[in-house]
Structures are given as C-alpha cells and as structure tokens.
Amino acid sequence: MAKEQIQVLNALDVAKTQWYHFTAIIIAGMGFFTDAYDLFCISLVTKLLGRIYYHVDGAEKPGTLPPNVSAAVNGVAFIGTLSGQLFFGWLGDKLGRKKVYGMTLMVMVLCSIASGLSFGRDPKTVLGTLCFFRFWLGFGIGGDYPLSATIMSEYSNKKTRGAFIAAVFAMQGFGILTGGIFAIFISTVFKSRFDAPAYMVDPLASTVPQADYVWRIILMFGAIPAAMTYYSRTKMPETARYTALVAKNMEQAAADMSKVMNMDIQVEPKNVVEQKKQFGLFSKEFMSRHGLHLLGTTSTWFLLDVAFYSQNLFQKDIFSAIGWIPAAKTMNALEEVYRIARAQTLIALCSTVPGYWFTVAFIDRIGRFTIQLMGFFFMTVFMFALAIPYDYWTLKENRIGFVVLYSLTFFFANFGPNATTFVVPAEIFPARFRSTCHGISSAAGKLGAMVGAFGFLYLAQNQDPSKADAGYPPGIGVRNSLIVLGFVNILGFCFTFLVPEANGKSLEEMSGEEIEETVDTSNHNNKTKMTSHP
C-alpha cells in the first residue's frame, strides 16, 4: 500500500523559495516583533514608574515599586500570554488560522494604546489599570505564538521550513532591540528639553512632571507595527493544510495555493478522498502516538524559559558592576531610563539578535535536535562557569569576563532551545491539533517564564536578611541560584530526547497524514484514501 501526499500539499513542500514565503515571514514576523516589544518594554520603565508613583520624601534612594506591585506589573502580561496561547491555539484549530489571526492583532493594538492611557493620578489607580490592560495585551500576544508558527509551517516548503519558522521567531530580537532604541530616543528628547538635577542633589526635582509621558509613549508605540500589518493579515488566504486536512475542501485549498504560487494545481476529485474515523485530542490513540512528543515539547519549553527569564534577574547587578548603570541616586529619572535602555540594547545587539539568526542559518543544515541539545549543553556549561567561581567574578577586575560568559548563555539560548522549542511543535502534530498543541507547549513555556522571573527573584536574594532587597525575604543567593539553573538546563537536555527530528520531512510525514493509495481490481480505478494516523 503506497503512501503519498495530497497534490496541493506536495506542491507546497517541493516549491522553490518564492516571494510569498517572504511575505508570510514579514506578516507573521511583524506580529512577533510587536510581541517582543510589548513584553520586554515594561522592564525599561519599571524604575521610572517607581520614581513617579512611589517617591518617599527624605528617602536616601529614589522610589521603587514594592515587590508585589513590581511582580504584578511585570508578570500580569505573562499570565495573559499563557491564557491567550491556550485559548487562541484551540480556536485556531476550530475556526481556522486566518479568522483568528486578525483577532489577536486587534487585541494587541487596542491594549497597547490603552496601557499607555492608564487612568488616574494615584499609584493604585494608574498601576491597577496598567495591569488590567497588560493582561489583555498579553492575551493577544499569546494567540500570536501558535498561529504565527502554524501558519508559517503550513506555508513553507520542507527544505527550508525550519529557517522560515525560525525567521519569524527571530523577529523577537528586533522587537527587543527596537524597544531599547526607541526608549533611548524618547528619553534623550525629554532629557534635553526638561533638564533635571540628580536625585541626591534635589530628590523632588529629579523627576520632572513630563517624565509621566515617557513611559506612556514607550508602551503605546507597540501599537504601530501591529496596526501596520493588520490589513495584510486579513488578505492572507487560509493555509492549504487547514483547508484540505481539517475543513476537507480540496478545491478551495488548490484554488488558494494556485493564486499564491502562480501555478496550476490539480485537485483530487471529491469522491476520491475519504476520511477514516479520527481520534480526538488527548484520546488514547493520540496519547499513544503523540503523548511523548507533547511531553517533550512542553517540558523542554518550560525548562528553557525557567533558565532564560531568570537570567534577566542578574542584569541589574551586571550593568551596575561594569558601570553601564550608575547608582540610582546619582541620576535623574530620565537619565536612568536612558542608561537602562542603552544597556539592554547593547546586550540585545551583541548576543540576543545574533543567536536568533545563527539558528535561522543552521536549523535546516544540522537539524532542530542537534541545535537544541547543543544550546542546553552550552547554557549548562556557562551557568556552572559563572556559579562555581562566583566570588572570583565579583572582583572588579574580573567583571568583564562575567559579562562575556553571561552574554554567551543568552547567545546559546537563542542559537538553541529558545528558537527550536518554538519551531518543533508547529511541525510534528496533526493539522487538526497543530495550533492547539503549539499553544499548550508555549503555555508551558510561559509557566516556566513566571517561575524563572518571579520564583528566582525571591530565590536569588542574599542569604543575609540585611543584604536582601527592600521588601524581600532572604533567599539562597545568586551563586546557588545559578547552580540550580545549571541543573534545570541539564533536565532540558535530557527531555530533548523525547522530541523527534523534523528536518527535511513533510508535515504529513511527521504527523502520518499521508494518503494511502489502493487499487480496486473490480473497476480498475484508483481510489485514494486519506488516513489519519498522525
């Protein structure tokens, strides 16, 4: 019994790289550009929010957000993202990728604007409404994860599919970079127009009233790139794989792709393609075929994000140690925004962005599996290299070495599991579950991000209560936290072995959705059955 593919899907798999591939990358990638901008820009302005809304007269240091408020402002978008990944992932399989794709973008546009218009004057009202809109912004961002990955995988040819999906994800790097550059620009403009003394010279005058506009403009800017791609998203045809395999409309799939690819594609007759009884998500059949795959994609993404997002905790210490960010009291509010933005931009430029594009360059040459194993391996090595001689790295003359190793962990996270955990779930599951399974996998990642960003915020506190940050209980210290993260990466390395290699294979080959051809000897006509054993 020979197995083959539906013709329209085979045409997509063997197509040479064409303009429509790049169009799809730009449309899906701009969503991810916006996602990264919106998620990471909040870290540029949290110090400013503390100065504006939590100033204490006579305090030695500028005002800072209390631990619970800081956790809410930074973490509420993660909770929204996790919810959106699950909801829109499921909806993308129920209604189709295209219908849902425009919804997520509109949510992001409206909530970016609303975040910057957070109402009220007192801290509780402003930050309460900010958290409300950041949650719904995250909800829209969450939908972009499974939909962008699934649409790109279903549009791609099998030879360069990994690079195309990774290129969409790599737009995150440019989003982070743009956030930093835009914050530098806005803070510079306001700083030159509204000069102010350092906090230690005049605490009250160091934060000019106009500083309240700065954080609002930075947050609202995220609406622009999302709005620019909305029209393009509404004009994208539904993916042929959804139309053919889920909606069962072969003629529409062939017609859509004929227009996109500028070629005639033959259609299987309606009476030729018959569907066997399909199994459901989380059914016994699904678990026997894909249970370990789903465990692999969820566990590796969870563990990666625990390690990846916890690394951000050490940035403030590193930036201060090498003089990129001086003590807060020696600067005014706008100077601090400028310094933080500059430091994050340099890290993004030197390690984050190059790491993403190394993955794009090599993923279809050496495969997803190898890149993910290599990434977890080197993240482990560099974590332990930072942790074991930690006291050595704290000496002033050795701090540059610390920054180099720290940057390398970011580089190998991005030229490694941070990219591959996004790519693989869009390739290995059946079309009717693809968006849902990617949503589940990415939601596990966001759960890991919350553990990394907030669990380690407490865990990494100094063991001496007098040296812990204000409002925090003592923890296990930075050195022990780095050791724990090293073991987290080892677990990620081990769970990678549950994930199959999709390099060079069609999506139908990975999921088992090929067509089986049998010959009916009674009438000598070929009959084609589409089986559903993913």
pLDDT recorded at residue 452: 87
pLDDT recorded at residue 315: 67
Q: Which amino acid is at 286?
A: F
Give the residue carrying structure tokens 């081990």: 494
Query: In the predicted model, is pLDDT for residue 468 greater than 50?
Result: yes
Query: In the predicted model, is pLDDT for residue 520 greater than 80?
Result: no
Record the pTM: 0.89
β-partners of residue 4 are 515
pLDDT recorded at residue 145: 93
Cβ–Cβ under 8 Å, residues 512 and 534: yes
Q: What is the mean pLDDT of residues 499-513?
A: 86
Q: Which domain holds residue 335?
A: 1-263+286-511
Distance, in Å, from the CA atom of 415 to the CA atom of 8, rounded to the nearest integer, reads 33
Query: In the predicted model, is pLDDT for residue 90 greater than 80?
Result: yes
424 located within any domain: yes
Q: How many residues does the chain have?
A: 534
Q: 19 falls in which pLDDT band (50, 70, 90)?
A: confident
pLDDT recorded at residue 272: 45
531 located within any domain: no
Q: What is the mean pLDDT of residues 512-530?
A: 45
Q: 517 falls in which pLDDT band (50, 70, 90)?
A: very low
Q: What is the mean pLDDT of residues 26-53?
A: 90
pLDDT tens-digit readout, 432-451: 999 999 999 999 999 999 99
Under DSSP, is residue 281 helix (H, G, I), strand (E, B) or coil? coil
113 located within any domain: yes
Q: 361 falls in which pLDDT band (50, 70, 90)?
A: very high
Q: What is the mean pLDDT of the chain?
A: 85
Domain count, the chain: 1
Q: What is the CATH number of the domain that holds 68?
A: 1.20.1250.20
- Return the top range by mean pLDDT from 5-9, 179-183, 227-231, 466-470: 179-183
Query: In the predicted model, is pLDDT for residue 116 greater than 70?
Result: yes
pLDDT tens-digit readout, 126-136: 999 999 999 99
Is the Cα torsion angle 477, 414, 352, 28 positive or negative in sign? negative
279 located within any domain: no
Query: In the predicted model, is pLDDT for residue 297 greater than 90?
Result: yes
Q: 140 falls in which pLDDT band (50, 70, 90)?
A: very high
281 located within any domain: no
104 located within any domain: yes
87 located within any domain: yes
- Give the number of other CB atoms < 10 A from CB of residue 522: 5
Query: In the predicted model, is pLDDT for residue 1 greater than 80?
Result: no
Nearest CA to 151 out of 23, 37, 294, 36 is that of 23
257 located within any domain: yes
Query: In the predicted model, is pLDDT for residue 115 greater than 60?
Result: yes
Distance, in Å, from the CA atom of 364 to the CA atom of 478, rounded to the nearest integer, reads 37
pLDDT tens-digit readout, 335-349: 999 998 998 888 888
Q: 318 falls in which pLDDT band (50, 70, 90)?
A: low
- Give the number of other CB atoms < 10 A from CB of residue 124: 10
